[in-house]
Chains A and B, each alone.
Chain A
Amino acid sequence: MRNSIAIIVAILILITSFLAFTNTPIFVRGYSAVKSGFSETIGPMLKLMAKPMDLVSSVFDSYANLVGAKKENAELKKKLDSLLLENQKISDLERENRRLRTLLNFVEKNPKSVIGARVVGEDLKNWYKCIIIDKGSASNIKEKMPVVTPRGIVGQTVEVDRWHAKVMVINDTNSSVDVSAEGKDTRGLLEGTGQEVLKLKYVLKNDDIEIGDKLLTSGKDGIYPKGLPAGIVITVNRNKPGIFADIDIMPFSNFKHLEEVLVIKR
C-alpha cells in the first residue's frame, strides 16, 4: 500500500514537472516558487563550499605547473622569438589598446552600472554551459544582464535567486550574440555549440571576413552593449554548399578558468 502511494506521488510529480517544462502558466509559477525557495537555501551552502576551491585550485595549478615546467620552458623560448616579431605589429596593439580602453571607459563612466561577482560554481550537467556567481537579486542583479571580463563577454544571467545567479555562457547551445567584425561592416550571429569553439552564422560567402578578425558585440541584440570583444575568427570555409560561409570562432575568455566576472546593469 505504502509503495503504491509512493508510485502515485511520483507519477503526480512527473506530470507536474512535465507541465512546468512545457511552460503551462500555473505550473510554471508554482514550480518556480518552489525551485527558487530551494535554490535560496543552497546558495549560502554553495558559497561556503566554494571557499576551499581557491586552495584546491592552487594545489592543482601548482602540480600542473610543475609537470609542465620543462615543456613550457622550451615552448617559451620559441614564443620569445615569435614575440619579437609580434612586437613589430604595433598597429594591432594600438587597435587592441583602443578596444580595451573602450571597455575601461565603459566601466569608469558607469561605475554604478557594473557589479563585480565571484564564480562559485558551474553547471552540474555538461549538457548546458552555465556558471554560478555569488551575487543575486539582493545585489540588484536581474535576468538578461550581460556578464563580461576585461578580456571579453562571458554570457548573460538567466536565472536569479536571492544569493546567486546563473549565467548562460556564450558557448551554450541556446546562446546567440549579434556581433560584427572589428573595422569591417560584416555582421553575424555568434552561436554556441556546446563545445569550446563557437560558430558565426549568417555571414555571406562574399562578406569581408578573414582568419584573425576580431569580433565585437554590435549592440543590436538588446542584451550586450556595443563594442565588447567576443572572439576571434579561427577558420573560414567558403567551400560548403549554400550562401553562408562556415566560420569558427574562438572566444577571448576561457570559461573554465573564470574566477571573477563583471555584471553590467541595464
Chain B
Amino acid sequence: MKVAIYTFLGLLLLLAESSLLSFIPVEIFKPDLGIPLVIYTTLFLGPQAGIIATLFIGFMQEGLSAAPHGSILFVKIAVFLIATFLKKKLYIDSKFSFAFVCSGFVVLESLLYITLSLLAKGETRNALNILFYTIPNAVFTGFIGIFIFSFIEYLNVRYLDRE
C-alpha cells in the first residue's frame, strides 16, 4: 500500500517537473525528484518496496527524457543496489540527514552515468555537461528532499501506519 502511494507521488512529481516547471528559465534548477523516493522506499520500506519504486520511477524518468534506452534505469537500479547494501551504514535520523544522503546519491548517479557512457559506448561529448550540472543538481535535490521527507512523514503519521 505504502509503496504504491509513494510511487504514485513520485510519478506525479516527475510529471509536474516535466510540464509545470518547464517555464522556469534557469536550466540549473532541475532536481532529480526520483532519488528521494527511491532512497526512502529502499531504506525505510525494504528492498522489495525499493525495487518496485525504482523500476517505476526509472521507467518514468526515461519516458520523459531523451536519454538512451536503459541508461537511466541502469543508474537508478545501481543506486537502489548501493542503497540496499549501505542500509546499515547510513544513519538517517532527520530530514536533513536524508537530504544529505539524497545529494550524495545524485553525485553518485551522475558519476555512474558518465562511467556507463564511457565504458559501454566510449561517449565523452556529454561528460563535461553532466559534470557541470552534478553539484547544482545534488544541492537542489537535497533541498527538495527535505520537503519530500517531511511530506512522506506527515502522510505516515496522519494517514498511514508509522513503522
Contact = CB atoms under 8 A, between A and B. Distances in A.
Given A14-B81, A53-B19, A53-B22, A130 B120 contact: no
Contacts, number: 170
A266 interface: no
Given A3-B46, A174-B125, A22 B65 contact: no
B63 to A, nearest CB: 4
A18 interface: yes
A10 B81 contact: yes
Interface residues of B, number: 57
B46 A31 contact: no
Interface stretch (B53-61, B97-105, B142-150, B153-161): B53-61
B84 A14 contact: no
Interface of B: 11, 14-20, 22-25, 27-28, 30, 32, 46-48, 50-51, 54-55, 58-74, 77-78, 80-81, 84, 113, 116, 120-121, 125-126, 128-130, 132-133, 137
Interface residues of A, number: 63
A42 B30 contact: no
A253 interface: no
Q: By DSSP majority rule, is chain B's interface helix, strand, loop, or mixed? A: helix
Contacts of B132: 194
Nearest to B114: A127
A77 interface: no
B63 A194 contact: no
B150 to A, nearest CB: 23
Contacts of A195: 129
Contacts of A34: 59
Identify whether the interface residues of A are mostly helix, strand, loop, or mixed: helix
30 contacts: A3-B48, A7-B47, A10-B51, A14-B74, A17-B70, A18-B116, A21-B68, A21-B121, A28-B69, A31-B69, A32-B69, A35-B59, A35-B69, A38-B59, A42-B11, A46-B19, A52-B20, A53-B19, A53-B23, A60-B23, A121-B15, A121-B64, A122-B18, A122-B22, A123-B65, A123-B66, A127-B126, A128-B65, A194-B126, A194-B132
A204 B28 CA distance: 34
A172 to B, nearest CB: 7
A123 B65 CA distance: 5
A35 B126 contact: no
Contacts of B65: 123-125, 128, 130, 166
